[in-house]
Chains A and B, each alone.
Chain A
Amino acid sequence: MTTPTPTGAPRTDLPPVPLARPGRRVAAVVVALLVAWVIHVVFTNPNFQWHVVGKYLFSKEILDGVKLTIELTVSAMLIGVSLGVVAALMRLSDNRLLSGAATFYIVVFRGTPALVQLIFWYNLAALFPRITLGIPFFGPDFVSLSANAIITPVIAANLGLGLCEGAYMAEIVRAGIMSVESGQREAGVALGLTRAQTMRRVILPQALRVIVPPTGNQIIGMLKLSSLASVISVTELLSAAGLIYTRTFETIPLLIVASLWYIALTSVLTLGQRAIERRLGRSVQDTPGVSWRRPRRRAQPPVPE
């Protein structure tokens, strides 16, 4: 076959024609049909009972459940992040006992199902009927209370979810700290800063860039994980819906109500996460494969001069 030679001088006014991609068009048509079918089914099948969904979406019981779900998520994450930072710093310690204790904590609480931990804390009274505050082995006891009085279902849920979360956060924080180049620490201490000052002002702020994205995922995960508390009679969002449908047998519409709230809450969290990431990205170099910041959001490109 011979290549036809262009006649005359090359022209600059020839319009480029994009390559036809028939496979992609077929796939798009198939997807469009599927979407249409799903929409059709969802809105024509009377068993979805959309009017029931509307009736309960903003009912007081559901809203109370939403409130408790948010509270559980916030407090469990606060416990988890605090424990995670402490456990991560302990794991990175040169002292074998400190790092060993942190490793043990992570192995136990990351290695058992959150559901088991929740039920365990809920039944703590079986193990320790009385909870006593004092100095172990030697000292006087200051307070002694019945475990059943202290460990309410909500407390048990907070303990279970928070301790479990701490084990995951410990690994996330540790990865973040280790991602900061060792030269940053050396520069800090060489200037005469203490190790704690260097950690707080130099290392942790940079570790945040690595810590925040997975922590956002953890918060979203926690929001949904908190539904486990329904098994220990905490009336968060899922059990609030459950309490209604065991009464009315409107199971599907109430699960839809709960799901809509979970989606709404996770969407809000996702937006917040993006905003924080963008803020943290201010000092980040846009190196491909290193930066997780979305380059097109940048105000001005870096101009090394």
Chain B
Amino acid sequence: MKAMIEVRGLHKRFGGIDVLKGIDLDVAAGKVVCVIGPSGSGKSTLLRCINHLERPDAGYILVNGEYMGYRQVGDRLHEVRERDLCASRAAIGMVFQRFNLFQNMTVLDNVTLAPRLARRTPMAEAERKALTLLERVGLAGKKDRYPYRLSGGEQQRVAIARALAMEPRVMLFDEATSALDPELVGEVLDVMRALAGDGMTMVVVTHEIGFAREVADEVVFMDGGVVAERGPPAQVLQAPREARTREFLARLL
């Protein structure tokens, strides 16, 4: 099956510290990959490189067969212009740990802004689509609220609807439930589960081992900037081969 995301030899340094030391990753279309690992292992940086929020220092990333942030000219990669980068990013939805809803806009405007600006979707159509999406995450009734009037779980569900409004081919989740009160985690995981069920290609950085076990097609365990172990959830989570995977999982429980 064709890889929707292909990461090869990805390196990233921040101020002299190697955060990613050569990551390879393949995500086939329609599959869900959960990335687990201790904090500081480079999980978030990997996600942020995939949609080019961070520029890789070495290696490359292909999304749907195209270089992310670069264009091949002869045997060189040229950095693309902002417009082209924006178009590539629009096909990748990202959900952040801290929700990052636009604080100056209502829920509805949060969801319609990007389609209207980046896709020139007419207002009426953008709103119709936004309402369908808000319906899907169970928040159509709160379309006129400002983000601060919503609970964390509601904000994160709006953030998912906002990302889906651009009709992405891939969704990236960066610890989407880590900032939530425990009783609100379930509602966000439900939405993510439904999305996976609909066949969305997803890369999920998470500490929710239960979710990974149930939803992931593959689990990737990262440690110290490398992939330490990968495989089906049953193998990585229940019978890890690597000692550090076992250690990490033991600490979580």
Q: Say yes or no: A304-B51 contact (C-beta < 8 A), given A184-B100, A201-B117.
A: no
Please, which residue of chain B has its CB at the minimum distance from the CB of A302?
B149
Please, which residue of chain B has its CB at the minimum distance from the CB of A304?
B151
Find out whether the CB atom of B51 lies under 8 angstroms from the CB atom of A190.
yes
Q: How many Å from the CB of A295 to the closest CB on chain B?
A: 14
| A277-305 Cβ-contact flags toward B at 8 Å (1 or 0) | 00000111100000000000000001111
Find out whether the CB atom of B148 lies under 8 angstroms from the CB atom of A283.
yes
Find out whether the CB atom of A191 lies under 8 angstroms from the CB atom of B53.
no
- Which B residues are CB-close (under 8 A) to A239? none
Please, which residue of chain B has its CB at the minimum distance from the CB of A200?
B117
Residues facing A in B201-224 (CB within 8 A) are: none
Find out whether the CB atom of A206 lies under 8 angstroms from the CB atom of B103.
yes
- Which A residues are CB-close (under 8 A) to B58? none
Please, which residue of chain A has its CB at the minimum distance from the CB of B48?
A186
Find out whether the CB atom of B118 lies under 8 angstroms from the CB atom of A192.
yes
Assembled-state Cα–Cα distance A296/B146 (Å):
19
Within 8 Å of chain A (Cβ to Cβ): is B98?
A: yes
Within 8 Å of chain A (Cβ to Cβ): is B196?
A: no
- Which B residues are CB-close (under 8 A) to A195? 82
Number of A-B residue pairs having CB atoms within 8 Å of each other in the complex: 83
Assembled-state Cα–Cα distance A195/B90 (Å):
13
Find out whether the CB atom of B151 lies under 8 angstroms from the CB atom of A191.
no
Assembled-state Cα–Cα distance A188/B89 (Å):
10
Within 8 Å of chain A (Cβ to Cβ): is B80?
A: no
- Which B residues are CB-close (under 8 A) to A304? 149-151
Find out whether the CB atom of A187 lies under 8 angstroms from the CB atom of B151.
no
Within 8 Å of chain A (Cβ to Cβ): is B77?
A: no
- Which A residues are CB-close (under 8 A) to B151? 304-305
Q: Please, how many residues of chain A have a CB less than 8 angstroms from a CB on the other chain?
A: 26
Find out whether the CB atom of B149 lies under 8 angstroms from the CB atom of A184.
no
Find out whether the CB atom of A283 lies under 8 angstroms from the CB atom of B105.
yes
Find out whether the CB atom of A184 lies under 8 angstroms from the CB atom of B103.
yes
Find out whether the CB atom of A285 lies under 8 angstroms from the CB atom of B148.
yes
| B133-159 Cβ-contact flags toward A at 8 Å (1 or 0) | 000000000000011111100000001
- Which B residues are CB-close (under 8 A) to A192? 86-87, 89-91, 114, 118, 166
- Which B residues are CB-close (under 8 A) to A191? 89-90, 113-114, 118, 162-163, 166
Q: How many Å from the CB of A232 to the closest CB on chain B?
A: 42
Find out whether the CB atom of B96 lies under 8 angstroms from the CB atom of A202.
no
- Which A residues are CB-close (under 8 A) to B148? 283-285, 302
Residues facing A in B32-75 (CB within 8 A) are: 51, 53
Please, which residue of chain B has its CB at the minimum distance from the CB of A286?
B148
Please, which residue of chain B has its CB at the minimum distance from the CB of A190?
B94
- Which B residues are CB-close (under 8 A) to A187? 94, 96, 100-102, 159
Within 8 Å of chain B (Cβ to Cβ): is A194?
A: yes
Within 8 Å of chain B (Cβ to Cβ): is A183?
A: yes
| A177-201 Cβ-contact flags toward B at 8 Å (1 or 0) | 0000101101111111111010001
Residues facing B in A153-198 (CB within 8 A) are: 181, 183-184, 186-195, 197
Within 8 Å of chain A (Cβ to Cβ): is B83?
A: yes
- Which A residues are CB-close (under 8 A) to B102? 184, 187-188, 201-202
Q: How many Å from the CB of B130 to the closest CB on chain A?
A: 13
Assembled-state Cα–Cα distance A236/B118 (Å):
49
Within 8 Å of chain B (Cβ to Cβ): is A205?
A: yes
Find out whether the CB atom of A189 lies under 8 angstroms from the CB atom of B150.
no
Assembled-state Cα–Cα distance A186/B103 (Å):
13
Q: How many Å from the CB of B36 to the closest CB on chain A?
A: 22
- Which B residues are CB-close (under 8 A) to A194? 82-83, 86
Q: How many Å from the CB of B133 to the closest CB on chain A?
A: 13
- Which B residues are CB-close (under 8 A) to A186? 53, 96, 100
- Which A residues are CB-close (under 8 A) to B159? 187
Q: How many Å from the CB of B8 to the closest CB on chain A?
A: 22
Q: Say yes or no: A183-B105 contact (C-beta < 8 A), given A189-B89, A303-B149.
A: no
Find out whether the CB atom of B149 lies under 8 angstroms from the CB atom of A190.
no
Interface of A toward B, CB cutoff 8 Å: 181, 183-184, 186-195, 197, 201-202, 205-206, 282-285, 302-305
Between A and B, 30 residue pairs with Cβ closer than 8 Å are A183-B96, A186-B53, A186-B100, A187-B96, A188-B102, A189-B53, A190-B89, A190-B96, A191-B89, A191-B90, A191-B163, A191-B166, A192-B86, A192-B90, A192-B91, A192-B118, A193-B114, A193-B117, A194-B82, A202-B113, A206-B103, A206-B104, A283-B103, A283-B104, A284-B103, A303-B149, A304-B149, A304-B150, A304-B151, A305-B151
9 A-B pairs with the lowest CB-CB distances in the bound complex, closest first: A192-B90, A285-B148, A187-B100, A183-B100, A191-B114, A190-B94, A283-B146, A205-B104, A192-B118
Given contacts A190-B93, A283-B105, A285-B103, 19 further A-B contacts (CB under 8 A): A183-B96, A187-B96, A187-B102, A189-B89, A190-B53, A190-B89, A190-B94, A190-B163, A191-B114, A191-B163, A192-B89, A194-B83, A194-B86, A205-B104, A206-B104, A284-B103, A302-B148, A303-B149, A304-B151
